[in-house]
Amino acid sequence: MNGIVAIGLAGMAAMAGLGWWRGWRGLRFALALAAGWCLGLVPALTGGDTASGLRLWAAGAVLLALVGGYTALIARLRRRAAANAETRPGVVGHRPAAASSSAPPPMSEVELDRYARHIVLRELGGPGQQRLRRARVLVVGAGALGAPVCLYLAAAGVGRITIADDDTVSLSNLQRQVLFRDADLGRPKIEAAAETMAALNPHIAVNRLGRRITEADVELVAEHDLVLDGTDSYASRAGTNRACVAARVPLVAGSIAQWEGQVTVWDPARDAPCLACLFPEAPAPGLAPSCAEAGVVGALPGVVGSVMALEAIKLIAGAGAPLRGRMLVFDGLWGETRTIALRRDPACPVCGEAVRPRSSPPPSRSPRPA
Ligand SMILES: [Zn+2]
């Protein structure tokens, strides 16, 4: 009996040492199995007979080796998938600067575990997660829509996120801006947002930009693969749209009022309309009241901002059909959604043929800050 237990313990120690050295995680389960086998089942089955105990232990060891080998094989396949060269088109692949930037190091075991639910998705997989990791995204406005956008992009592992906002957290924000806590009152939104995002995912970089985005920010926009705009004034949205059109960067736009919200992807560089194709001029005063004037239900930006983050993930990874040339309208009061087809306006004052021929090259790029 003692001999069998000693052999079992020695075998377990050897496997534990191997597992620790190789960083196997499935081995914990296998070791628990082996412990039960050696300490309980083998002596009980053999009645203390050393020879038959050894045979049973050998059978257990073979089982254990199979489990360990399978675990190691799966880990190796996951690593290979993660490091695999990209084959599907996404906005990251479309951006010349991103395509020429050096490939990031392979994902660590911790990152593979963190993004495991992405990696098993056929439409994302290892290459899709690597694209998210390499992506540089500009989030305009850290308000109601910016909150779920920032949280989900950070959680999804989007490698570099720039947040542009010049506002501070006020009490009336907390009813819907779930990025902030009561203790953040009075703090700059970009500070509180960056802190929350870093706490959520330490594997990403968050750049803080304490100002608004205007049409003059073409160079800044061109340093990003994608822009998400959740601001609530036409002037701000029109400025971001102009900068994105000039830089040929897709713009995921969301808006909310009261119980209803809309999401679309403005992208004239890829034959979708821009904001000005549909809305060339600011609405008449009173026709599009802001959330402060008209009110907005707290959970609505959670829905609309999450759809924006989802569109960003799809665009970056090249998955599915993004809302290019389509607008998703969500009516929260009646629980209805509908999709409206949108067309480019050839005479658009921002992206029309007269203003910007489609064959024009993207603007030159300044080196990205480290
Ligand atoms: Zn246009």
Query: At 79, is the pLDDT very low, low, confident or very high (cuts 50, 70, 90)?
Result: low
User: How confident is the model over 91-124, as pLDDT tens digits?
Assistant: 764 554 443 356 678 999 999 999 999 999 999 9
Per-residue confidence (pLDDT) for residue 72, from 0 to 100: 77
Span from the CA of 350 to the centroid of ligand 1 (angstroms): 5
Per-residue confidence (pLDDT) for residue 364, from 0 to 100: 42
Span from the CA of 249 to the centroid of ligand 1 (angstroms): 13
User: How confident is the model over 232-241, as pLDDT tens digits?
Assistant: 999 999 999 9
Span from the CA of 164 to the centroid of ligand 1 (angstroms): 23
Residue of 229, 201, 46, 30 whose CA lies nearest to 141: 229
pTM score above 0.95: no
85 pLDDT higher than 70: no
365 pLDDT higher than 70: no
8 pLDDT higher than 70: no
Q: Which residue ranges make up each domain of the chain?
A: 2-83, 91-341
Of 68 and 32, the one with more pLDDT: 68
Span from the CA of 24 to the centroid of ligand 1 (angstroms): 54
Per-residue confidence (pLDDT) for residue 45, from 0 to 100: 64
Angle at 46 between CA 43 and CA 49, to 5 degrees: 95
Of 123 and 52, the one with more pLDDT: 123
User: For ligand 1, a single-atom ion, which residues have Cβ within 5 Å?
Assistant: 274, 276-277, 348, 350-351
**H or E segment to which residue 262 belongs:** strand 260-266
Q: What are phi and psi of 263, to 5 degrees?
A: -135, 140
Give me the active site residues, please: 291
Span from the CA of 210 to the centroid of ligand 1 (angstroms): 28
User: How confident is the model over 275-323, as pLDDT tens digits?
Assistant: 999 999 998 877 777 777 889 999 999 999 999 999 999 999 999 999 9
Q: Say which CATH class 91-341 falls into.
A: alpha beta
Span from the CA of 356 to the centroid of ligand 1 (angstroms): 10
Report the b/e string of 303-334 with b at 16+ CB within 10 A.
bbbbbbbbbbbbbbbbbeebbbbebbebebee
Per-residue confidence (pLDDT) for residue 356, from 0 to 100: 57
Span from the CA of 331 to the centroid of ligand 1 (angstroms): 26
Of 301 and 74, the one with more pLDDT: 301
Spatial neighbors of 8 by CB under 8 A, at least 6 apart, are 34, 35, 37, 38, 39, 42, 57
